[in-house]
């Protein structure tokens, strides 16, 4: 496995790049916008194809690199389901799997630092975002944070993991790189409490300045999704326009979502399933057969389908459209 821990010294953020092999698919967790060139260079050097990028929560201290990476590498952006609706192209629920080639992560809903905080468990490693830090925990005084929720996320979820599990946090301000569940249980001063009340008392008595970037970072990070207007520019069609094409039996509908999303959200009748990840292969194999077909892509919120249209252009396919706003707009 390839595992790289990358650091942004301005916001003290750790970003993780993971892949199962050189030349394969890759995943990035908590990228920082200003480091995008660095990530892309590293992906190129390791011959990796970035397919998913995750934010553990809406960050307040830096602008996330997920949108820039999406636009430059055509990857799927992903957060937990409690993240604002239009930030990412794919949401996952508590306990749902996040898969790329040879790698599987389990999403754990661990609110408290913010109400949209998720951790991601990968075998003997857990990416804890700002929920559990090395010898610390993420503050709980803004973005709907709650010390009580965090107590339960810590004591009922993360600390229940095997004690040799490695902890990979989203930040460290003292130069520590990695810890373990057992080590934190023993030495993290915030975890030496016997009740949620006691924990809340500690957290509510921290007197902390707001992060310097907060007023810029939070609103920017909530708007990283592709707007409906932007989606329209990539041969976007409205629900009414797609319905008309279906009624006239005038198109081939392609659903780009993954099985878990289709199970949860349902799909449009008559569509065929080609997950976004597999689209390059699909286009490569079927290019000749589909060159005269009118393809209409759709996904969860319209981002992956907009990227799919762009991808098709590199295969010189015309007659390609996509549904603006995805299945979400369709069901509305």
Applying the rule CB under 5 A, the residues between 270 and 289 that interact with Fe ion are none
Beta carbons of 297 and 322 less than 8 angstroms apart: yes
Applying the rule CB under 5 A, the residues between 219 and 278 that interact with Fe ion are none
Nearest residue to Fe ion by CB is 130
Q: How far is the CB of 53 from Fe ion (least distance, A)?
A: 17
Nearer to Fe ion, 116 or 130 (CB): 130
Q: How far is the CB of 79 from Fe ion (least distance, A)?
A: 13
Applying the rule CB under 5 A, the residues between 303 and 322 that interact with Fe ion are none
User: For strand 295-298 and strand 132-133, is the pairing parallel, antiparallel, or unpaired?
Assistant: unpaired
Applying the rule CB under 5 A, the residues between 121 and 150 that interact with Fe ion are 130
Beta carbons of 324 and 240 less than 8 angstroms apart: no
Beta carbons of 184 and 161 less than 8 angstroms apart: no
Nearer to Fe ion, 68 or 130 (CB): 130
The count of chain residues that interact with Fe ion, using the rule CB under 5 A, is 1
Q: How far is the CB of 149 from Fe ion (least distance, A)?
A: 14
Q: How far is the CB of 256 from Fe ion (least distance, A)?
A: 30
Nearer to Fe ion, 61 or 184 (CB): 61
Nearer to Fe ion, 13 or 89 (CB): 13
Nearer to Fe ion, 173 or 292 (CB): 173
Judged by the rule CB under 5 A, the positions of this chain that interact with Fe ion are 130
């Amino acid at each position: 496995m390839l595992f790289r821990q990358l650091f942004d010294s301005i916001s003290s953020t750790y970003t993780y790049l993971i892949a199962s092999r050189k030349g394969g698919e890759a995943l990035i967790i908590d990228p920082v916008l200003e480091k995008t060139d660095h990530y892309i260079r590293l992906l190129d050097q390791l011959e990796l194809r970035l397919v998913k990028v995750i934010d553990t929560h809406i960050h307040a201290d830096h602008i996330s690199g997920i949108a820039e990476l999406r636009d430059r590498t055509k990857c799927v952006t992903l957060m937990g389901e409690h993240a604002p609706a239009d930030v990412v192209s794919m949401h996952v629920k508590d306990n749902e799997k996040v898969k790329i080639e040879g790698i599987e992560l389990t999403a754990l809903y661990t609110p408290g630092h913010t109400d949209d905080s998720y951790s991601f468990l990968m075998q003997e490693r857990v990416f804890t975002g700002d929920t559990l830090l090395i010898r610390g925990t993420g503050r709980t005084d803004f973005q709907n944070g709650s010390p009580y929720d965090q107590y339960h996320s810590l004591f009922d979820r993360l600390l229940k993991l095997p004690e040799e599990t490695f902890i990979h946090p989203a930040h460290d301000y003292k130069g520590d790189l990695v810890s373990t569940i057992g080590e934190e249980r023993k030495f993290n001063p915030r975890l030496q409490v016997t009740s949620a009340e006691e924990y809340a008392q500690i957290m509510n008595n921290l007197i902390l300045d707001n992060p310097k970037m907060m007023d810029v970072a939070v609103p920017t990070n909530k708007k990283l999704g592709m707007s409906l207007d932007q989606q329209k520019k990539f041969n976007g069609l409205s629900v009414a326009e797609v319905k008309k094409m279906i009624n006239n039996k005038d198109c081939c509908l392609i659903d780009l979502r993954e099985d878990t999303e289709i199970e949860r959200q349902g799909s449009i009748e008559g569509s065929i399933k080609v997950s976004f990840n597999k689209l390059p292969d699909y286009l490569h194999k079927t290019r000749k057969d589909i060159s005269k077909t009118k393809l209409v892509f759709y996904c969860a919120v319209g981002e992956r389908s907009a990227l799919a249209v762009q991808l098709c252009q590199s295969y010189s396919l015309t007659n390609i459209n996509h549904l603006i706003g995805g299945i979400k707009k369709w069901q509305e």
